[in-house]
Amino acid sequence: MARKKPKYNREAFLAEMKRKGLDVRVIEHPLILEETTILRDRKTKNFHFKQGLRRMGELLTYELLRDAKVKEKQITTPLTKTTGFEISERFVVVPVLRAGLPIAEGFASMMKEAEVGIISCWRNPDLSVEVEYAKIPTVKGKHVI
């Protein structure tokens, strides 16, 4: 007899994450919605799926860094000295094997100073998670994606 798959409830999931102190954001940017549709379509070829995951990482980076703190930085252009900016917060990107790797590549291509970890895990039928392997850099004082 086949096991019944637990029904996903977005509101309950978000409430549980909030209760655990995790900041989960639902992003509904048109480009992300479109890319999500392409990724979910069973007709999407493997090559385009991998490209789409990387693009999704890049698109998500823009949204995730929308409110990132920046600090001023003095630079010299070919014409003069001026004030520029750099992101002052630090990030660690931790993809879940396997599909998470291209997404992490997208993040890393946009956030050149981000550190990258890796985790291998799976979800049980009750939606709990089993972790098989994790190699994660120090996260103290950093945002984990």
45-48's contacts with Cβ under 8 Å and 24+ in sequence apart are none
pTM of the model: 0.73
**Omega of the bond prior to 98 within 30 degrees of 0, cis?**
yes
Q: What is the pLDDT of residues 6-63, one digit of tens each?
A: 677 888 888 888 999 888 888 889 999 999 999 999 999 999 999 999 999 999 999 8
Q: What is the pLDDT of residue 10?
A: 84
Strand partners, 95: none
Task: Give the DSSP H/E element, type plus range, for residue 47.
Answer: helix 46-64
Q: What is the pLDDT of residue 126?
A: 81
